[in-house]
Amino acid sequence: MDSRVRRASSAHRTPSPRRSAPRSASHTSNGARDLLLNAAERLFGRNGIAGVSLREVAAAAGQRNNSAVHYYFRDKRGLVDALIADRIGNAERQRQILIDRLGDLASCDSAALLRLLWQPLLELDSGQGDHPFIQFYLSYQTQRAGSSHPLISDPDRYPASGRILAELAARSAHISHEQFQYRLGLMAMMFWAAVSWHDNSLVATNQRWSSRFSIEETINLTVAALAAPI
């Protein structure tokens, strides 16, 4: 089953529809909104949410009107919420496509389920090989310690992830549900940190876009963490 997940994931690596069109499209409503989301994603991931002003987001998005963010999102909180909803929603659609191709999750092992959960996040790259949403979300979770992940706080909105998490929990029956969520949360932070470290390392060594992040070691560590005794 693990090889089936790999094949399904590889077959579905298509460019994400979320990335903005060329700058000339910014005169349209959706084009401007997408440009603002893309700019906020990268700036927030690099400098933290508190370290970026809405004026900086508008400028980075090529918007002459400094009130553009207020027009589309009202305030910074609205911008952050819209960014998370957009990216997590796109990843969720990718998960559902992969599940539909597999047809059955019952025969998936924990590694295959984790691949279904995390691989779609890696596909939310910038089109240039890095992963600004993952960098942003790591910063968001670090600055807002204790914030629930949308997949946990609003499970009805993400049924594909709910199925994956339910199967993962069933394979971790030796620990309580609270321990399962805690361990998986820690491993998710490790995953986001590993991707961010990989991207930053490529920049530091002038090898940007030369190598894709490998998810396998993180998956192996997470499988071990979930299987560890109490």
**For helices 177-204 and 159-170, angle between their N-to-C axes, nearest 10 degrees:** 110
Q: Are 52 and 79 in contact (CB under 8 A)?
A: no
- pTM value? 0.83
- C-alpha distances in Å from residue 188, one per residue of 130, 193, 222: 18, 8, 8
Domain span holding position 8 = 2-227
Residue 71's domain is classified under what CATH number?
A: 1.10.357.10
Q: Which residues contact 203 (CB under 8 A, 6 or more apart)?
A: none
CB atoms within 10 A of CB 114: 25
State residue 223's pLDDT score.
98
State residue 147's pLDDT score.
62
Instruction: Report the domain count for the chain.
Output: 1
Digit-by-digit pLDDT tens for the chain (230 residues) are 566 666 666 655 544 444 443 333 434 567 999 999 999 999 999 999 999 999 999 999 999 888 999 999 999 999 999 999 999 999 999 999 999 999 889 999 999 999 999 999 999 987 777 899 999 999 888 877 656 778 777 878 999 999 999 999 999 999 999 999 999 999 999 999 999 998 888 877 766 545 667 899 999 999 999 999 98
**Cα gap 178→159, rounded to integer Å:** 20
